[in-house]
Homo-oligomer: A and B are copies of this chain.
Amino acid sequence: MTTKRRNNSQDVADLARVSQASVSRAFTLGASISAKTKMKILAAAAKLDYQPNIIARSLSKSQSGLVGILFANWDHPKAAEILKGLCEAITEKGFKPVVQSANTTESVDKAFNDFLSYQVDGVIVFSMSPSANMSALCFRSNIPIVLLNHSTPGINASVVTIDSTKVGRQIGNAVLERCYKRITIISSDAHSQVFSGISDALAETVSQAAGTEIISQLTGIHGYEAGFQAIIDLWAEVIKPDVIVCTSDYTALGILAGCRHKLGIRVPEDLCVIGLGDIPASGWKDHDLSTIKIPHDELVKKTVTTLISKIETQSMEPENLKLEAKLILRGTIKNL
């Protein structure tokens, strides 16, 4: 079987008895072409199964219509939702998402080189720890770049994230109102800006009331099993917290399991547990975990619109956007 060549604009032009340029114009929004010939051309195109070759168009216009997504944080409980949102928003804006997975530094560099090779018009990064190197690469090539959710100090790129200071205050107030006294904060990543934002604001808020304080901060604890173990360890201490704030719902659920099935700790009477992320399981009757609901949808949309506007205005100016997250009170915190 001989692979038949795909029809091109010249074929359509021949059939419609017009010039190739006119065919191009027929498929270019807002181009100078009469309704009559456009009609004629579209008919011919349909007959030939013609689709403009975007690769050629990209070459000619020297912009690919591609947006690179560097996705590293696959463990995020809402990874699928986020990626879906990104892809859909990008598509809706008339671009196409090219997804690269990367964890190691080398693979990040490789991914970025690939992006450059593919002449992507912009890049979105979803990683716990974006590297400064990549923003430099983008800068050198004049490619706008937006970080979703996590930034790194000193990185030269736009960031869309939640307002962790406000979150910290919300938690602080909720804790104060209910007269809890001793707070422990548990995080997977000690350098996360979300973590430090919450932690700082929480500390400041509770410092206004005497007798309430953050008694410990544990980092490097990540996931259900680790949470289960963490609460066992914590309960072996002399001074036990009566509030645990956890920067991951999974970890919080592990803690809860430890409380209920192993240690017999009464939640929320003796211990208040607050997670982050509002994964589906948190809402299940078995768990009923209080948590922070992050507006992923908005984060994602904002990320994309920010990027696209940068692409269209050719702007490389870094922006810093913060959206609000909401504390959801469920069974793991006392009722007022």
Contact = CB atoms under 8 A, between A and B. Distances in A.
A74 B140 CA distance: 36
Interface in A88-131: 88, 91, 96-101, 111, 113-114, 116-119
B49 A140 contact: yes
Contact of A59 (B55, B83, B100): B55
A54 interface: yes
B84 A74 contact: yes
Given A54-B118, A142-B3, A87 B99 contact: yes
B64 A55 contact: yes
Nearest to A81: B74
Interface in A46-94: 49, 51-56, 58-59, 64, 66, 71, 74, 76, 79-81, 83-84, 87-88, 91
A285 B254 CA distance: 9
Nearest to A116: B51
B224 A280 contact: yes
The copy count of this chain in the complex is 2
Q: Which of A97, A114, A117, A261 has the most CB of B within 10 A?
A: A117
A257 interface: yes
Nearest to A97: B99
A281 interface: yes
Contacts of A98: 66, 96-99
A101 B118 contact: no
Interface of A: 3-4, 6, 49, 51-56, 58-59, 64, 66, 71, 74, 76, 79-81, 83-84, 87-88, 91, 96-101, 111, 113-114, 116-119, 140-142, 224, 228, 253, 257, 261, 280-281, 284-287, 314
10 contacts: A4-B142, A52-B117, A55-B119, A79-B80, A79-B84, A87-B100, A224-B280, A257-B284, A281-B281, A286-B287
